[in-house]
Structure formats: C-alpha cells, structure tokens
Amino acid sequence: MLNQLLKFTLISSLLLWLKPRWRGLLALSVLVVAIHTFHSEYLDYSERSGDHSFLVWSYILKWAALAATVLLYMVYMIAGQNSRAQSVGKAHINKKGTVATSAVADDGFDFLREKKHLQSRADKIVASKKHDF
C-alpha cells in the first residue's frame, strides 16, 4: 500500500513539474537527437569516402551546437520564469510608504484598488443608522 502511494506521489509530482516545461524539453530533445544524427551521418560519410580532414572540426561543431542548444533552452526557461513573475503583479513599497503595483491585465478589482478608504460591514451599518435618524 505504501509502495503504491509512493509511486503515485512521485509520478504525479513529476507530471506537475513537467506540465509547464514539456514543449521546451521536447524541442531540446529533438534538436539534440538531430545534432547527433547529423554528426553520425557525417562520420559515416567520412569513413566511406576516406576523407578524414574535417573530423576535428565536426566534433568541435557538434559540441558547440549542443552547448548552444542547451544554453538557449536555459535562457528560454529563465525568460519564461521572469515573465510569469512579472505578470503576477507583486506589490512594491515606495520610500513614502505607499504600495505601488505593477501594471497587469485587469482582474476586475481595479475599482477597489483606486479607493482611498474601504468601508467594512460595520461602517456600512453605522452609516445606515445615521441616515435613519
């Protein structure tokens, strides 16, 4: 029973981690496989033709392409995380003590953010009692 629960937990946490990243990881995997395939094809061609003059350059190009692919994926992921963090709209406190929010898509509560004072239920009851007299 505990073994099944552990497997379920591990698989579900892996799927939750993988869900926002699957497109980028798929593209990275396809590019890495393509680089390895092209290089192996070149090695096969070089062996059959007997021309070994560019083997060193082929390995340098292969590893440079792999490194560039991985670095581009990392930059893509970091940029994606930064854009998600900015879209959340975290509040920043100014030197004056006021709260400034970053501009995000309208979530329907802007009319409340612009008010200087919000009334509680007690304030509304007291205000209605004053109007009754």
DSSP 8-state symbol, 116: S
64-89: pLDDT as tens digits: 999 999 999 999 888 877 776 666 55
- The predicted pLDDT at position 118 comes to 84
Residue bearing tokens 């581009």: 72
Name the pLDDT band for 105 (thresholds 50, 70, 90): low
- The predicted pLDDT at position 131 comes to 73
Contact (Cβ atoms closer than 8 angstroms) between residue 104 and residue 98? no
1-52: pLDDT as tens digits: 888 999 999 999 999 988 888 888 999 999 999 999 999 999 999 999 998 8
Contact (Cβ atoms closer than 8 angstroms) between residue 55 and residue 46? yes
Name the pLDDT band for 96 (thresholds 50, 70, 90): low
- The predicted pLDDT at position 1 comes to 80
